[in-house]
C-alpha cells in the first residue's frame, strides 16, 4: 500500500470540519462508511493513480479489471476528495434515510461498478465512432460518476423546485444535465464521460430496468433500520411508515458542490 506523502491537506481538513459540524452521530452508517473508505484510500492509496484510474486501454485491452473497483475510491488531490465527499454527505443523508441503510449500501455498490462499466462503453463507442484512439487512453478516477447517479435518484424522490446553476434557475429534473454541461465547460480536467455515465446509471434505476433487476437479485428486500430512540421501516421504493429523524444538515441543493471534479489522466 502506497502512503500519500505528508503535507497540509486543506481540503481534507475542511471535510473533517464539515463532518463534525453535521455531527458524526447524525450521519447514517453507510454514508459514514463511504466517507471513511474514500478518506482511507486517499491517505493510503492501494496503488498510484496511474494504476488505479479507469480507461478502455488499461481495463479492457490489458484486462486490468480491478480498476473498476479501485477508480471510484481514489482521488487526485485533497480538493477533489473534499468536493466529492461533501456532495456525498448531503446526498447520503437524504437518500439513506429514505431507502434504508441496507438498500442504500446495495445501491452504492451497484452504482460504483456499473458507472465504471458505462464509462468504458461510452469511451469505446466514441473512440470507434470518431476513430480517435485517445479516448481509449483517457483515464478517470474519483467518485463523481456515482454522485451524479445519486443526484438523479435524489431528484426523482424529491421532484419539483429549482436549483441555481451559474446564476440561472433550473428545474430539478433537468439539473443533472445542466450541471453536466456547466462542469464540462467551466472545470477543465473533468471527465464528461464519467459524469454522463453516472446520469445514465441513475436513469436506468429510476426509469429503466435496473431497480427491478436489483430487486430480483436481492429477493424481496426490506429491512428494519434502528436509529437511536426510534425504529423505521424502509424498503427499496423509498417509502417509510414513520418519518425519519432530521439529521440536522442544512446544505441546500444550490450549495451542493457542483464543482465535483473527476480528474482525467492520459494513459500513454
What angle, rounded to 10 degrees, do the helices at 144-157 and 78-99 form?
30
Nearest to 66 by CA among 116, 1, 106, 137: 116
| Residues in Cβ contact with 162 at an 8 Å cutoff, skipping those fewer than 6 apart | 169, 170, 171, 172
Tell me if 185 sits within 8 A of 147, measured CB to CB.
Answer: no
CA distance 214 to 51: 30
Active-site positions read 144, 195
Q: Which three cell numbers stand for residue 262?
A: 473527476
Closest alpha carbon to 72 in 4, 6, 149, 5: 149
Amino acid at each position: 500500500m502506497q502512503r500519500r506523502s505528508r503535507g497540509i491537506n486543506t481540503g481534507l481538513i475542511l471535510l473533517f470540519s464539515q463532518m463534525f459540524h453535521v455531527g458524526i452521530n447524525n450521519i447514517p452508517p453507510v454514508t459514514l462508511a463511504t466517507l471513511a473508505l474514500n478518506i482511507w484510500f486517499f491517505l493510503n492509496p492501494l496503488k498510484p493513480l496511474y494504476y488505479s484510474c479507469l480507461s478502455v486501454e488499461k481495463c479492457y485491452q490489458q484486462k486490468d479489471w480491478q480498476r473498476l473497483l479501485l477508480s471510484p475510491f481514489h482521488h487526485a488531490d485533497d480538493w477533489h476528495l473534499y468536493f466529492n465527499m461533501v456532495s456525498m454527505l448531503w446526498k447520503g443523508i437524504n437518500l439513506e434515510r429514505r431507502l434504508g441503510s441496507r438498500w442504500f449500501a446495495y445501491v452504492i455498490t451497484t452504482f460504483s461498478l456499473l458507472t465504471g462499466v458505462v464509462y468504458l462503453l461510452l469511451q469505446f463507442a466514441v473512440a470507434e465512432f470518431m476513430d480517435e484512439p485517445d479516448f481509449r487512453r483517457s483515464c478517470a478516477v474519483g467518485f463523481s460518476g456515482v454522485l451524479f447517479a445519486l443526484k438523479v435518484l435524489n431528484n426523482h424522490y424529491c421532484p419539483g423546485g429549482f436549483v441555481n446553476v451559474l446564476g440561472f434557475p433550473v428545474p430539478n429534473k433537468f439539473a443533472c444535465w445542466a450541471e453536466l454541461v456547466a462542469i464540462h465547460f467551466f472545470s477543465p480536467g473533468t471527465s464528461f464521460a464519467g459524469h454522463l455515465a453516472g446520469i445514465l446509471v441513475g436513469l436506468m434505476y429510476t426509469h429503466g430496468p435496473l431497480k427491478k433487476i436489483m430487486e430480483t437479485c436481492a429477493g424481496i428486500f426490506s429491512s428494519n433500520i434502528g436509529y437511536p430512540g426510534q425504529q423505521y421501516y424502509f424498503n427499496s421504493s423509498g417509502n417509510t411508515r414513520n418519518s425519519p429523524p432530521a439529521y440536522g444538515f442544512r446544505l441546500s441543493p444550490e450549495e451542493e458542490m457542483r464543482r465535483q471534479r473527476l480528474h482525467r489522466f492520459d494513459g500513454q
